[in-house]
Amino acid sequence: MSSKEMNAIELKRGGEDRNAFGKKQIMGSVVFSPKEKDVLEVVLQESGSYTLEEAKQLMMLYLNKEVI
């Protein structure tokens, strides 16, 4: 995940009060399959907090990234 993509998501978040979760909480969630959790392990930062929608968006950006 590039820093530009991470910054874009952070800017979208703004100052709004949302249901954000840490990486450990998301990884323990039943919302994501084990395969999805493998991808999330790579794209989520330990110190970050994410809404479920943001986590899904980061996962999709990673999975659809062009291979060089």
| 8-66 confidence digits (pLDDT tens) | 555 555 544 468 999 999 999 999 999 999 999 999 999 999 999 999 999 999 999 88
Please state at what angle helix 52-63 crosses helix 3-13, rounded to 10 degrees: 160
Query: What mean pLDDT is reported for the chain?
Result: 83
Q: What secondary structure does DSSP assign to 27-44, as a single string? A: HT-SSS-HHHHHHHHHHS
The answer to whether residue 5 scores a pLDDT higher than 70 is no
